[in-house]
Amino acid sequence: MIDLNHCLVLGACLFCIGLYGLLTADNTVRALMCLELLFNAVNINLLAFSSFLDTVQSRGQIFALFVITIAAAEAAIGLSIVLAVHRARGSSRLSFLTLLRW
Amino acid sequence: MDIVFDTYRSSLFTAIELGVFFGSIGVVVAPSMIYAAFSLGITLLSIAFVYLLFNADLLAAAQVLVYIGAINVLIVFAIMLVGPAPLLPSRPLAYRLLCFGAASGLCLPLVFASTEGLWNKTKLEIPGEDEIVQIGIGLFDRFLLPFETVSLLLLVALIGAIWIARARPEMKREMPSQDKPLL
């Protein structure tokens, strides 16, 4: 039987794995992939609450649709920044993202 | 018959959960970027199956279309364009241990809070026939302003992405060096 606790634990584990990957990534593309994991963890929580507690209006699903849209915009912007940095610096390492530092 | 169906459903859910878990670990630890991207695809597909088990058909379809069809393919294209990263020393072990401590220090309270009795609901209600109709009504009635705002944001973000990623001839390839100040 699927229960709500189980789904919330799944979302929490996914969020923490993504957070660890985001903190330790040294490649910008990998950091973006871990960011997608964070968005998905949030979406799992929203959908779990929606389908266990609010099946009439499904407001959690509407919120998840918004999150997916924001994630698509973020991925497009992030990957274009990766391409621009790769063109300027010849590498996609996160530690080379220093153009605006000082 | 119900018990058989419940057992089938819960074992299916466990298998899908294992797919999500190991797929996400593969994204973090895979040595090659392209393997990490494929692992991300497995994770996203498993999450789409989780949505199907939640009876959220529309979101499962959107997950497959947007995440796997658009974002993951975009990531693979970016990896192919950027090329292999040069072999450089990765982060020091102490930093990674600190990050692991931070992530697990967040994970444990979250898991404890999630397994609390307040969220102990086991009854997954079967939605009515008009669930997608309800989502559409919600999008155009109560959430109309966020819906329009998010469409504007998507347009601005895509135009901005094209603007950032376009080729500029005046931009020179320049490796950062320690002795001279960066731009």
Mention every residue, 6+ apart, whose C-beta is less than 8 A from residue B35: B26
Out of A4, A9, A47, name the one closest to residue B121 (CB): A4
pLDDT digits (tens, 9 = 90+) for B99-148: 999 999 999 999 888 887 777 777 666 666 678 888 889 899 899 999 99
Q: Which two tokens stand for residue B18?
A: 């294992």
pLDDT digits (tens, 9 = 90+) for B35-48: 999 999 999 999 99
Q: Return the closest-CA partner of residue A47 out of B45, B149, B139, B47.
A: B47
Which CATH code is given to the segment(s) A4-100?
Answer: 1.10.287.3510
b/e code B51-89 from CB counts within 10 Å (16+ = b) = bbbbbbebbbebbbebbbeebbebbbebbeebeebeeee
- What is the residue extent of each domain of chain B? 1-84, 127-169
**The CATH number, out of the four listed (2.115.10.20, 1.20.120.1200, 3.60.40.10, 3.30.365.10), of the domain defined by the range B1-84:** 1.20.120.1200
Residues B121 and A4: beta-carbon distance below 8 Å? yes
Contacts of A8 in chain B (CB under 8 A): 110, 114-115, 119
Out of B25, B103, B115, name the one closest to residue A19 (CB): B103
Nearest CA distance, B94 vs chain A (angstrom): 11
Cα end-to-end distance, chain A, whole Å:
56
Decide if A96 and B90 are in contact by the 8 Å CB cutoff: no
Decide if B67 and A71 are in contact by the 8 Å CB cutoff: yes
Residues A58 and B132: beta-carbon distance below 8 Å? no
Q: Per DSSP, which regions of chain B are E strands?
A: none
Nearest CA distance, B135 vs chain A (angstrom): 6
Global confidence as pTM: 0.87
Contacts of B161 in chain A (CB under 8 A): 76-77, 79-80
pLDDT digits (tens, 9 = 90+) for B136-157: 898 998 999 999 999 999 999 9
Sign, CA dihedral A51-A56-A60-A64, equals: positive
pLDDT digits (tens, 9 = 90+) for B41-90: 999 999 999 999 888 889 999 999 999 999 999 999 998 888 766 666 67
Contacts of B3 in chain A (CB under 8 A): none
The complex's ipTM works out to 0.91
Contacts of B20 in chain A (CB under 8 A): 10, 14
